[in-house]
Amino acid sequence: IKAQIVRLEKDKEELHNQLLSVDPTRDSKRVEQLVREKVQLCQKLKGLEAEVAELRAEKENSDAQVENVQRIQVRQLAEMQATVRSLEAEKQSAKLQAERLEKELQSSNEQNTFLNSKLHKAEREINTLTSTVKELKHSNKLEITDIKLEAARAKSELERERNKIQSELDGNI
């Protein structure tokens, strides 16, 4: 557009120079034609200037829109970066919590293993003691039975002895 304006101004100047060099008496039709061309060129120049002004306004509007979009994008980028930092912090926190829980689980498993071992040992001791108690009860019953039998024999022998003595006493009377 600037090139057209420059060219038109050059054409205008050439026409102006031609007008000055023409003999006024010579060709009045030529002068009229040149005046018409000048008027047309001036109108065309005004039209082009208006078009340039319109294009400049459109460019300014477009620049303002681009600047607005850039501001929005910068704000969105900052928000996204903040979100990413926040999510990374949450991820790190969750990772640390998972590690802590894993250690607690391992400690709990070790404690369970230890307690299970202790429980099995206690169960074996209980079984041993239960078996010993059963053996002692059985042995005790056998001893009581032996003692009862011994007492019954002794009682029976004492009754025989008493009967014998009673018979002797009865026989002596």
Confidence of residue 16 (pLDDT cuts 50, 70, 90): confident
* Distance separating alpha carbons of residues 94 and 113, to the nearest angstrom: 28
Give the global pTM: 0.42
Q: At 83, list the tokens.
A: 């979100």
- Per the model's pLDDT, the better-predicted residue between 90 and 5 turns out to be 90
Percent of the chain exceeding pLDDT 90 equals 69
Nearby residues of 5 by Cβ (< 8 Å), 6 or more positions away: 45, 48, 49, 52
Structure tokens that stand for 103 in this block: 């250690």
Residue 49, pLDDT > 80, answer yes
Q: Which pLDDT tens digit goes with each residue over 98-119?
A: 999 999 999 999 999 999 999 9
Instruction: For residue 1, give the DSSP letter.
Output: -
- At a CB cut-off of 8 Å and minimum separation 6, what does 52 contact? 1, 5
Residue 23 clears pLDDT 70, i.e. is over it = no
